[in-house]
């Protein structure tokens, strides 16, 4: 059983030909709202696409923005541990998605900033705690230390990127980052492999978009190439990856198998609009894993190895 602790937002999404530059106004297209927030997205992915029992500690305001978030999570079977700070709005995110499916996101934390150490529920029965950085950093650190002391595996998706204390990193069993976050934390402009080696956690996974992902587990490296799909919107793909990765590890899968499942789920999440609305079901992930064939798999793997700076 997995516990996720983190943010929940209502996403306001507009499509546009390109993401505006500073000072630029762009005439957009469709506008929609979706349930989102890194914590909520990852919990829903863990339950829906990963197929494991999942609980989520979250904070929502007492406003209309909270209702679609609760409905989305409940529909996926996520058990909610709710904090309702009075007089604070539900978190929101403002997202622009361009014609290539890339996005730019601004988050107003709202109630997410009100999660504190005392809100952590009892940890008995959980094997993994999954955290992100859209809630206060002292809270994240307190949760990680408590979970470490209780014998849980602590997984941190270090997004959005920022400096992390030695105490927090020492409590993390598995760190998940994208390439930009990896370089921020490693303070290194060398290869991906160099940066992975510099981080003190026992295991680190870096996602590399369409290229795939690379993991360092102790002194062993694992590579997983990406799945080719028609990209509509990349919002939530990284969160889907994190949720399914932890679900697979909680199900006693190997790291290599977990990376493959997570990569397939993340690819499918890019084929639909929205964050939680784009998370696939476990059956869809299984079908892609069966159907996916690449005649250029060896070449793609070699290209990924070279990009990461591995021999």
Percent of the chain past pLDDT 90, that is, above it, reads 79
Cis amide leading into 160 (omega within 30): yes
Please tell me which residue, 99 or 261, carries the higher pLDDT value. Answer: 261
pLDDT at 52 over 80: yes
In this structure, is residue 16 part of a structural domain? Answer: no
Q: What is the CATH number for 171?
A: 3.40.1190.20
Which residues, listed in sequence order, are joined to residue 130 by a DSSP beta bridge?
A: 4, 155
Tokens of 125: 């029965």
Q: How many CB atoms lie within 10 A of CB 302?
A: 13
Tell me, yes or no, whether 22 lies in a domain: no
DSSP state of 307: H
> Which pLDDT tens digit goes with each residue over 8-36?
999 999 999 999 999 999 998 889 999 99
- Please write the tens of the pLDDT for every residue from 119-167: 999 999 999 999 999 999 999 999 999 999 999 999 999 998 888 999 9
- Does residue 103 form part of some domain? no
Higher-pLDDT residue of 44, 163:
44
* pLDDT recorded at residue 29: 87
Average pLDDT across the chain, whole number: 94
Q: Which of 233, 239, 284, 296 is catalytic?
A: 239
Q: Which residue has the higher pLDDT, 134 or 311?
A: 134
pTM equals: 0.92
Q: What angle do CA 106, 110, 116 make, to 5 degrees?
A: 120
Pairing of strands 128-131, 2-5: parallel
Structural domain boundaries, residue 50: 2-8+37-90+111-308
Residue 34: CA count within 13 A, CB half-sphere:
24
Read off the tokens for 245. 């990765």
pLDDT at 89 over 80: yes
Q: Is residue 120 part of a domain?
A: yes
Query: Does residue 281 surpass a pLDDT of 80?
Result: yes
User: Whole-angstrom Cα distance, residue 3 to residue 5?
Assistant: 7
Per DSSP, helices labelled H in the chain are 38-48, 66-75, 137-149, 166-171, 179-186, 192-198, 237-250, 255-269, 282-291, 297-308
The per-residue pLDDT for 1 is: 97
Nearest 10 degrees: Cα torsion 264, 125, 79, 241: -20
Residue 15 lies in a domain: no
Who contacts 134 (Cβ-Cβ below 8 Å, separation ≥6)?
A: 6, 7, 9, 37, 38, 39, 91, 107, 109, 112, 159, 160
Average pLDDT for residues 183-202, to the nearest whole number? 91
50 pLDDT exceeds 90? Answer: yes
Q: Looking at residue 239, what is its pLDDT? A: 96
284 counts as catalytic? no
pLDDT band at 190 (very low <50, low <70, confident <90, very high): confident
Residue the block writes with tokens 């998706």: 157
Tokens 């869809």 label which residue? 284
pLDDT of 109 over the 90 cut: yes
Asked which of 97-111, 113-127, 284-298 is least confident by mean pLDDT, the reply is 284-298
Domain assignment present for 23:
no
* 88 has a pLDDT exceeding 70: yes
Residue 286: what pLDDT?
94
Cα separations in angstroms, 87 against 82, 111, 133:
15, 9, 23
Query: What's the average model confidence in pLDDT over 175-196?
Result: 92
Q: State whether residue 56 is helix, strand or coil.
A: strand
In this predicted structure, the answer to whether residue 296 has a pLDDT above a threshold of 80 is no
Identify the CA nearest to 267 among candidates 288, 253, 247.
288
**Residue 154: inside a domain:** yes
Give residue 14's pLDDT.
92
Q: Identify the band that residue 240 occupies on the pLDDT scale cut at 50, 70 and 90.
A: very high
Would you state the pLDDT for residue 311?
86
pLDDT tops 70 at residue 295: no
User: Can you say whether the dihedral through the CA atoms of 182, 185, 188, 189 is positive or negative?
Assistant: positive
Residue 151 lies in a domain: yes
| Structural domain count, the chain | 1
Burial 58-79 (b: 16+ CB within 10 A, else e): bbbbeeebbebbbebbeebebe
- The answer on pLDDT for 277 being more than 80 is yes
């Amino acid at each position: 059983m997995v516990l996720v602790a983190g943010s929940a937002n209502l996403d306001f999404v507009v499509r546009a030909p390109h993401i505006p530059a500073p000072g630029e106004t762009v005439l957009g297209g469709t506008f929609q709202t979706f349930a989102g927030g890194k914590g909520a997205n990852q919990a829903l992915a863990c339950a829906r696409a990963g197929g494991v029992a999942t609980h989520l500690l979250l904070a929502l305001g007492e406003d209309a923005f909270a209702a679609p978030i609760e409905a989305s999570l409940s529909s996926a079977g996520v058990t909610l541990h709710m904090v309702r700070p009075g007089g604070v709005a539900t978190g929101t995110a403002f997202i622009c998605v361009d014609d290539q499916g890339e996005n730019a996101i601004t988050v107003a934390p709202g109630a997410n900033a009100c999660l504190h150490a005392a809100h952590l529920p009892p940890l008995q029965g959980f094997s993994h705690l999954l955290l992100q950085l859209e809630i206060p950093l002292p809270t994240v650190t307190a949760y990680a230390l408590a979970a470490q002391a209780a014998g849980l595996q602590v997984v941190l998706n270090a997004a959005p990127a920022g400096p992390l204390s030695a105490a927090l990193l020492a409590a993390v069993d598995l760190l998940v980052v994208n390439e930009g976050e990896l370089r921020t934390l490693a303070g290194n402009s060398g290869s991906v492999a160099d940066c992975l080696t510099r981080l003190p956690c026992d295991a680190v996974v870096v996602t590399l978009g369409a290229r795939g992902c690379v993991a360092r587990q102790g002194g062993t490296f694992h590579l997983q190439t990406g799945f080719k799909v028609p990209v509509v919107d990349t919002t939530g793909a990284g969160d889907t990856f994190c949720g399914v990765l932890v679900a697979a590890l909680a199900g006693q899968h190997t790291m290599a198998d977990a990376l493959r499942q997570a990569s397939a789920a993340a690819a499918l999440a890019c084929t639909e609009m929205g964050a939680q609305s784009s998370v696939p079901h476990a059956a869809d992930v299984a079908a892609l894993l069966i159907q996916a064939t690449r005649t250029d798999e060896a070449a793609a793997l070699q290209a990924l190895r070279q990009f990461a700076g591995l021999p």
